[in-house]
Amino acid sequence: MAHQIIFGGGFFWCMEAVFKAVPGVSVTSGYAGGHSSNPKYEDVCSGSTGHAEVVRISYDKGRVSLSQLLDLFFLSHDPTTGNRQGNDIGSQYRSIIIAGDDELREIKSYILKLEKKLGRKLTTELKRDGRFYPAEENHQDYYRKHPLHPYCMFVIRPKLKKAGKLQPILNV
């Protein structure tokens, strides 16, 4: 049985590329955490929907644990900056996790340990089971389709290199 979790931490192209490298994981880019139904990219970018750019992760617990996914999530973005990841600024780029009750208990414990280790508070928003809206097709699997796009070369590639340090769960 596949388990699901939703992660947001900046532009969804980045999160999607990072998590697609994990065996036992499937990834869909989309929008969640807001108040409007069936948002489109332009709506989310305007900030009027309350949604964040996110990825829905379906994963096999026999191949990858929630803890491993959290390691990768927190390594691949800065969870201490509110509404911003690098040059991507706005509430749609906030750090957010949407999960079920069982997962949220584990995530809260993980965050407390990470905050203690870092010596600072995280801005990561936690929400219980939210509605997910898949992004338009041109945003799906973007890194694979457009590896020479400047954003892919100068933002996503360095994240993939950094994430590669989490071997053996990654096959980057």
Work out the pLDDT band at 166, boundaries 50, 70, 90: low
pLDDT surpassing 90 at residue 146: yes
> Exposed, middle or buried by CB within 10 Å (0-12, 13-18, 19+), for 128?
exposed
Q: Residue 62's closest CA among 101, 20, 7, 24?
A: 24
Which residue spans within 38-90 are E strands per DSSP? Answer: 52-59, 84-85, 88-89
Contacts of residue 25, defined as CB under 8 A and 6 or more positions apart, other chains included, come to: 19, 57, 58, 59, 60, 63, 64, 69
pLDDT surpassing 90 at residue 21: no
What is the predicted pLDDT for the residue at 165? 64
What is the predicted pLDDT for the residue at 52? 96
pLDDT surpassing 80 at residue 88: yes
Residue 172 lies in a domain: no
Residue 120 lies in a domain: yes
What is the predicted pLDDT for the residue at 45? 93
Top pLDDT among 164 and 38 is at 38
What tokens does 61 get? Answer: 């617990």
Q: pTM for this structure?
A: 0.92
Is the distance from CB of 50 to CB of 36 less than 8 angstroms?
Answer: yes
- The CATH number for 136's domain is 3.30.1060.10
Structural domain total, the chain:
1
> Exposed, middle or buried by CB within 10 Å (0-12, 13-18, 19+), for 137?
exposed
> CA 147, 171, 124 angle in degrees (round to 5)?
80
Identify the weakest region by mean pLDDT among 2-6, 39-43, 83-87, 141-145.
83-87
**Four-residue CA torsion sign, 67, 69, 74, 79:** negative
Work out the pLDDT band at 172, boundaries 50, 70, 90: very low
What's the rounded Cα separation, in Å, for the pair 110 and 129? Answer: 18
Residue 171 lies in a domain: no
Residue 43 lies in a domain: yes
What's the rounded Cα separation, in Å, for the pair 10 and 29? Answer: 12
| Domain around 58 | 3-166
Residue 112 lies in a domain: yes
What tokens does 109 get? Answer: 């414990």
